C-alpha cells in the first residue's frame, strides 16, 4: 500500500481504489475482457510509491490562501466600502483602461484580421470571382443556348420538304468529303 497522501483523512480517499484494484505495476491482473492495462500516470505514481510531497502541501496552502485573499478583497470592495472600486479605477487610470479592455486585443484583431478578411471576401471572392466569373459563365451559357435556339428555330418551318432538302445537302457534303 502506498504511503498516505495529504488527503488521506478525507472520506473519499479510497473512493477510486476499486477501479485500480486489479492493476499491479502497470499491468492488469486477471484474464479475459476485464484485464485492462492501467493508465500510465497511475502506474508511475504507484511504482514510485509517491505520497504527498512537501511541494504539494505548499501549493495546496498557497492556492487556499490566494482564494481566501480574493474572497476577502471582494468583501472589502463590494460590501464594506462600495466606493473603493471606483476610487481604485480612477487612481489606476490608463492601466485600468488597458486591462478592462483586455489590452485591446479584440480591437486590434478586428482591424487587422476581420475587416481586411471581410473586404477580401466581399470585393474579391464575391464580386469578382462569384458574381463576375462564375455567374458570368453560367449566364453566358444560358444566353448562348437561347441564341442557338433562336437561330435554329428560324431553320424549322414545319415543312417536311425543307427538312428533306437540308438532309440531302448534308448527305451530298458527306459524300463529297469521303470522295475527295
What would the pLDDT profile of 107-159 be if each residue is shown by its tens digit? Answer: 999 999 999 999 999 989 999 999 999 999 999 999 999 999 998 888 777 88
Same domain, yes or no: 108 and 44: no
Is the predicted pLDDT of residue 40 greater than 60, yes or no? no
Q: Are 58 and 6 in contact (CB under 8 A)?
A: no
Tell me how far apart the alpha carbons of residues 87 and 77 are, in angstroms, rounded to a whole number: 10
Residue 146 and residue 92 share a domain: no
163 plus 115 within the same structural domain:
yes
The predicted structure's pLDDT at residue 46: 47
Whether 85 and 130 map to the same domain: the answer is: no
| 114 plus 152 within the same structural domain | yes
Q: Residues 14, 20: contact at Cβ < 8 Å?
A: no
The alpha-helical segments, DSSP class H, found in the chain are 40-48, 54-75, 84-92, 94-100, 105-109, 115-119, 135-155, 160-179
Query: Whole-angstrom Cα distance, residue 67 to residue 75?
Result: 12
Report if pTM > 0.85.
Answer: no
Whether residue 45 is found in the same domain as residue 64: no
Domain end marker among 100, 128, 158:
100
121 with 168, same domain: the answer is: yes
Asked if residue 80 and residue 116 are part of one domain, the reply reads: no
With a cut of 70, say whether residue 58 has pLDDT above it: yes
The per-residue DSSP string of 51-74 comes to ---HHHHHHHHHHHHHHHHHHHHH
Residue 12 has pLDDT above 70, yes or no: no
Q: Binning pLDDT at 50, 70 and 90, where does residue 22 land? A: low
Cα 129 from Cα 51, distance rounded (Å): 65
- List the domain range (segments joined by +) for residue 84: 53-100
Q: Are strands 23-24 and 27-28 parallel, antiparallel or unpaired?
A: antiparallel
Is 6's pLDDT higher than 80? no
User: Do residue 94 and residue 110 come from a single domain?
Assistant: no
Report pLDDT for 162.
Answer: 85
Domain co-membership, 110 together with 173: yes
Contact 169, 162 (CB under 8 A): no
The confidence score (pLDDT) of residue 96 equals 93
Q: What are the CA-CA distances from residue 42 to residues 2, 33, 37 (Å)?
A: 12, 20, 10
Total domains, the chain: 3
Mean pLDDT of the chain: 82
Same domain membership, residue 114 and residue 168: yes
Contact assessment for residue 22 and residue 28, using Cβ atoms and an 8 Å cutoff: yes
Amino acid at each position: 500500500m502506498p504511503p498516505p497522501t495529504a488527503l488521506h483523512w478525507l472520506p473519499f480517499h479510497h473512493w477510486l481504489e476499486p477501479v485500480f484494484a486489479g492493476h499491479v505495476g502497470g499491468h492488469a491482473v486477471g484474464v479475459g475482457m476485464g484485464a485492462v492495462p492501467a493508465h500510465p500516470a497511475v502506474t508511475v505514481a504507484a511504482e514510485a510509491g509517491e505520497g504527498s510531497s512537501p511541494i504539494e502541501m505548499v501549493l495546496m496552502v498557497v492556492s487556499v490562501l490566494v482564494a481566501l485573499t480574493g474572497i476577502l478583497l471582494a468583501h472589502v470592495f463590494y460590501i464594506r466600502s462600495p466606493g473603493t472600486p471606483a476610487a481604485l479605477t480612477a487612481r489606476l487610470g490608463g492601466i485600468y483602461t488597458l486591462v478592462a479592455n483586455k489590452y485591446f486585443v479584440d480591437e486590434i484583431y478586428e482591424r487587422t484580421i476581420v475587416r481586411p478578411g471581410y473586404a477580401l471576401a466581399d470585393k474579391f471572392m464575391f464580386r469578382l470571382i462569384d458574381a463576375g466569373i462564375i455567374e458570368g459563365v453560367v449566364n453566358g451559357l444560358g444566353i448562348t443556348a437561347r441564341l442557338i435556339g433562336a437561330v435554329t428555330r428560324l431553320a424549322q418551318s414545319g415543312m417536311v420538304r425543307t427538312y428533306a432538302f437540308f438532309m440531302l445537302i448534308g448527305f451530298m457534303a458527306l459524300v463529297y468529303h469521303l470522295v475527295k
